[in-house]
Structure 1
Amino acid sequence: MTLAYQLIDFKNPVFLAYTLWSVTLALKMMYLSMHTAIFRFKNQTFANPEDGGRRNVHFNNEEVERVRRAHRNDMENILPAFLIGLLYVLIEPSTLSACLLFKIGAIARIIHTVVYAIVVIPQPARVLAFAIHYIITIYMGVSVLYHLF
């Protein structure tokens, strides 16, 4: 069995942590998608005229747009972190540090969603949560590149 197969295995605690927190963030992103749909129906704010049927349709609603922006921010930041995180698993990082990075990064993204789209809290709450995850992703990416060279 090659090393890559040994690393991408649920017996590897780093891969297990990566999987746990990646699935958690994927489910959170799916929640935001449904949250957007709920707010669209609640506010009669639809993306396309045919989506509203015969109802009076509005296209701009701050409540809907806030959730959409949070979801878009997730896609722009969490999706690259999934790839970088998997590559980070492959460089055999320290178990403790890798598990902490995955956990802290995921919790930061959850907090980002809460303070952005659920219970709006003024800055710097959102930017701090964003920065923590972003810095962790950058660190893991640089670690992968360093390992390669």
Structure 2
Amino acid sequence: MVAISLDNPAVQSYIVYTAILAVKLLLMSPLTGFSRVKRGVFANEEDAKKGGGKVKFDDPVVERIRRAHLNDLENIPAFWVLGLLYLTTGPATAWATLLFRVFTISRIIHTIVYAIVPLPQPARGLAFMGAAFVNLYMGAQVIMYYITAI
């Protein structure tokens, strides 16, 4: 196992892309809220009364944003765990940085083509698969590294 040091450029890269993803994830809630206010559809009666709208759970625009947010919640935490474990295998800095960058860009593109400017498939699928490939690759590398160490 390779020690994780803050002086390691791969670790620094992981920190930067992890922070970008955390901010992206945090921005999804206000995006949903803004969309609800703009469209006058709310999930709670008290919000609808205050906002002058109605309770509605099936607004297509709001639901697309919510599904994009849920998809982030299913994929980004796995990246955080797998990326950190991957760093313990001592990957080359350039390769690790490329993986972190591809994952981050893929997740941003996924949100854009799913929730902000809906594009037809395969745009969303390709963005999803780019990030999924990175997670699967890092997970496989961690498993192979530590199986051979046993």
TM-score by length of 1: 0.91
Cα shift at 1:145: 1.0
Matched, 1:57 2:54: yes
Equivalent residues of 2:44, 2:55 under 8 A apart:
no
Matched, 1:16 2:15: no
**Equivalent residues in 2 for 1:1-149, closer than 5 Å:** 4=3, 7-9=4-6, 11-53=7-49, 55-59=52-56, 60-149=58-147
Percent identity over the alignment is 42
Q: 1:123, 1:116 → 2: CA distance?
A: 10
Q: 1:129, 1:38 → 2: CA distance?
A: 24
SS at match of 1:53: helix
CA RMSD of aligned residues (A): 1.5
Q: 1:129, 1:36 → 2: CA distance?
A: 21
Q: Gaps (5+ residues) in structure 1?
A: none
Cα shift at 1:57: 1.4
Cα shift at 1:76: 0.5
1:111 and 1:58, CA in 2 relative to 1: closer, same or farther beyond 3 A?
A: same
Cα shift at 1:134: 0.2
Q: Which runs of at least 4 in structure 1 moved beyond 4 Å after TM superposition?
A: none
SS at match of 1:63: helix
Q: 2:83, 2:59 → 1: CA distance?
A: 35
Q: Gaps (5+ residues) in structure 2?
A: none
Decide which moves more: 104-113 or 54-63: 54-63
Q: Provide Cα deviations, 1:1-50, integer angstroms capped at 9, x if missing partner.
A: xx53xx241x2111111111111111111111110000011112112222
Q: 1:129, 1:98 → 2: CA distance?
A: 19
Number of aligned residue pairs: 145
Letter in 2 for 1:101: L
TM-score by length of 2: 0.90
Q: 1:142, 1:84 → 2: CA distance?
A: 10
SS at match of 2:107: helix
